[in-house]
Amino acid sequence: MHLYWMQLHITPGIVAMTASLKLISHKLCPYVQRAVIALKEKGVPFERIDIDLASKPDWFLKLSPLGKVPVLVVPTERGEVALFESNVICEYIEETQAGSKLHPVDPLQRAEHRAWMEFGSAILGDLWGLETTTDPATFESKRQALVAKFERVEAALGTGPFFAGNAFSLVDAVFAPIFRYFDLFDELTPHGIFNDVPKVRAWRAELAKRPSVRSAVGADYPQLLRAFLVRHDAHLLKLAA
């Protein structure tokens, strides 16, 4: 796929691109959504290329050492550079693209935000267990782990509407895809994960309104997620029966 050169030199040998950026994606991946949200918040044009992770193309495996999405393909003077790992991609977007700042200026606050981004990844680990397990005991264990983690998030939140107040940040980009899962899960079972975290509930509702968040997935996302649960014979679906 040919890339067209645009924009300015940011550092020697590296060209920050707009329309030339390619994001290798999967329609359900929450880590991809982080990068999409960051790009949209910055107003950066990009080409999104969805692949089937069950049948990864050879060209993708050559780009991604871990065989995972997202991968951001950046054209440079020395050829294409493939960036992998979602937080790395988000940091690169923040550092090279114009638009709203998605990280605090203060180094300590910025480090705190990075730490909470990692905490969001830990939540996704528990979510994976919750949505894929066929075992009731494992489901309950993961449910309780999520309750505990969101209680920690509740304690860290201020008055909102976003994680750090009025400014949308990369922490918001990390948690928005987490909350999106529960749009379906709420329909399936009264899981109670958000019962005692009113600040988290308000944050979730605010993020759901954000245009960058809403457009980070296709209209078929709920159907694809439900089909994913069916393929895994998820206990979560049995609770809805």
Catalytic residue numbers, as ranges: 29
CB atoms closer than 10 angstroms to residue 59: 11
Q: Would you call 84 helix, strand, or coil by DSSP? A: strand
Task: Return all residues near 92 (Cβ < 8 A) that are at least 6 apart.
Answer: 72, 74, 83
Tokens standing for residue 178: 């987490």
Place of tokens 């399936």: 188
Place of tokens 């990280």: 103
Q: How far apart are CA 199 and CA 160, in angstroms?
A: 8
Closest-CA residue to 21 (of 67, 87, 68, 90): 90
Helix axes 86-96, 170-188, angle to 10 degrees: 140
Buried b (16+ CB within 10 A) or exposed e, 99-138: eeebbbeeeeeeeebbebbebbbebbebbebbbbbeeeee
From the number of C-beta atoms within 10 Å of its C-beta (0-12, 13-18, 19+), residue 159 rates as: exposed
